[in-house]
Amino acid sequence: MKDYIIRATAADGYIRAFAAQTTQMVESARQRHNLYPIASAALGRTMTVASMMAIDLKGKDDSLSIIIKGGGPIGSIVVVAAANGMVKGYVDNPFVQLPLNDKGKLDVARAVGTSGKLTVIKDYKLKEPYVGQVDIISGEIAEDMTYYFAVSEQQPSATALGVLVNPDLTIKSSGGFIIQPMPGAPDDLIDDIENRVSNIAPVSSQIAEGLTPEDMLNELIGEYGLKINDQLETYFRCDCNRERLESVLISLGRDELEDILENDGKAELICHYCNKQYIFDGKELDKLIDAMV
Ligand SMILES: [Zn+2]
C-alpha cells in the first residue's frame, strides 16, 4: 500500500490534525543508506514529521528541512520534505548500534543525543525562508518536535512518531500524527484530547495492525466531527542529478579541481541524501576546469 498523509480538522475547526503512514518511505531510506535499526527509527521519525509538516506548506514548490544535531553517535539527521510529498534525508552514521533502553526499545534518544539543536527551515519560493531553532530536550524526536512547535511556532501540539523494525532489519511499520488545538479551543476539549493521546497504542503498532491514518485520527478525535480535508501521497525520492553535482565540483574552485585531476584522475561524488554515486572522469574534469576562467 502506498504511503500517504492526511490533513484534517475537528470540533468546528478548534482542532487541526495530521496523520501519516510512511512504512515504504522509511524502507526506501533504509535500503538507500543501509540503515541499522536505530538509524531507521531516528531518520524514519524525522521524515514522518517532516512529511506531515510539508502538506501544510502554502506554495506547491515550497519545502522544509529539519536538521537535528544532538551530539550523539548518530551525528546529524537531515531531512528535506517538499509540498508535493517528496521526502529525502540521511543520518551521518547509519550503522550506530546501542543496547536497548530501559523500556526495551531502540535507544533513539541516546543515539541522537540531548545536547544540541533542532532546526527547521521552511523554504518559500516567493519569500524569505523561515528558520526556527530550539534546544533538543529529549532526543526521541516526537517530544523535541512538540517542544519546537510550542516554542518556535507558538503552537501547542501532541506529536507521536513511531517506526517498527523487523528482525531482518526491514521496516515493519512507520507513521505518526500531530494534533493541534487552535486558538480559543475550550480547555476541557484540550484536556480530553491530551488524555486520549496518552492512552492510545503506539502509532507504529497501530500501523503494524493495519490501521490507516484515517483510523488513527478517527480513534483519537472521531467523536468531535472529524473532517478529512486533504490527502497526499508521500515517498522517498531524491532530486539530485549530474548538473547539481557538477556545480558542487565547480564550487571547489580551479586549484582544488586541478589537484583532484592530478592525484586521482577523476572525481567521485556521493549524494548525501540518496547515496547515489557520480563519477566525473578526467576528460570531464578537464572540461570543467577549462570552462573556469
Ligand atoms: Zn541524491
Ligand 1 centroid – CA 276 distance (Å): 6
Ligand 1 centroid – CA 44 distance (Å): 17
Q: Is the pLDDT of residue 1 over 80?
A: no
**What pLDDT is stored for residue 262 in this prediction?**
93
Question: Which pLDDT band, with edges at 50, 70 and 90, does 284 fall under?
Answer: very high
Ligand 1 centroid – CA 247 distance (Å): 14
Q: Which CATH fold topology does 242-291 show?
A: CBS domain Like (3.90.1280)
Ligand 1 centroid – CA 173 distance (Å): 24
Question: Which pLDDT band, with edges at 50, 70 and 90, does 19 fall under?
Answer: very high
Identify residues whose C-beta is under 5 A from ligand 1, the ion. Answer: 238, 240, 271, 273-274, 276
Q: For 224-271, how does the pLDDT look when each residue is reduced to its tens digit (9 = 90+)?
A: 999 999 999 999 999 999 999 999 999 999 999 999 999 999 999 999
Q: Cα angle at 47 between 41 and 51, to 5 degrees?
A: 145
> What are the extents of the domains in the chain?
4-236, 242-291
**What pLDDT is stored for residue 127 in this prediction?**
87
Q: For 196-216, how does the pLDDT look when each residue is reduced to its tens digit (9 = 90+)?
A: 999 999 999 999 999 999 999
Task: Tell the CATH superfamily of the 4-236 domain.
Answer: Hsp33 domain (3.55.30.10)
Ligand 1 centroid – CA 240 distance (Å): 4
Q: How many CA atoms lie within 13 A of 46 on its CB side?
A: 29
Please give the helix or strand (H or E) that residue 109 lies within, else none: helix 108-112
Average pLDDT over residues 144-155: 97
**What pLDDT is stored for residue 226 in this prediction?**
97
Ligand 1 centroid – CA 136 distance (Å): 27
Average pLDDT over residues 49-63: 94
Q: Which three cell numbers stand for residue 240?
A: 539530485
